[in-house]
Amino acid sequence: MVEAASSQTTWHLVAHHKEIPEGMCLQLGVAGHSILLCKVKDQIYCIEDRCSHRDIPLNRGWLEGHEMVCPLHGATFDIRNGHPCRLPAKQAISAYDIRIDEQQRVFVALPKT
C-alpha cells in the first residue's frame, strides 16, 4: 500500500533522479529502512527491500515492467503499490510516497522509527 506522508512519516532525500538507471533498482538503507528505488518509463517508485513470502531481500531480483521479481521463488510485486502479483507471495509489501523537487532530487516518505 502507498503510505502518505503524515505525522507518522518523514521525508528523506535519497538520490538524484539521474542516479537511478532506467529499468533498474537502487538499494539503499535510510533511517533504519532498507528500500529499493526503481525507475520505469522515467518514473521513480520506492518499495521496501523485502519479499513478503520468506522475508528475504528483493535487491537481487529484477524488474519486469512495473513488477519486481523475487529471485528465490519468483513472486512479483507491483512497484506502484506493493501488491503481490504472482504466487507464492500473498501479502503486500510497503510502497512509499516519492517527491521530486525542481532540482530533480528524490525524496521518500518513510515511517518514523
Q: Cα separation of 92 and 83, whole Å?
A: 4
Q: Count how many Cα atoms sit within 13 Å of the Cα of residue 73 in the half-sphere of its side chain.
A: 14
Residue 75 CB, shortest distance to ligand FES, in Å, is: 3
The one among 88, 92, 98, 100 contacting ligand FES by CB under 6 A = 88
Cβ–Cβ < 8 Å for 86, 97: no
Q: Is the dihedral of CA 83, 75, 52, 50 positive or negative?
A: negative
Residue 72 CB, shortest distance to ligand FES, in Å, is: 4
Contact code string over 14-53 relative to ligand FES, x by CB under 6 A: -------------------------------------x-x
Cβ–Cβ < 8 Å for 111, 9: yes
Taking the least distance from each CB to ligand FES, the nearer of 55 and 102 is: 55
Taking the least distance from each CB to ligand FES, the nearer of 44 and 70 is: 70
> H helices then E strands: how many in the chain?
0, 12
Residue 56 CB, shortest distance to ligand FES, in Å, is: 5
Residues forming contacts to ligand FES in the complex (CB under 6 A) are: 51, 53-54, 56, 70, 72-73, 75, 88-89
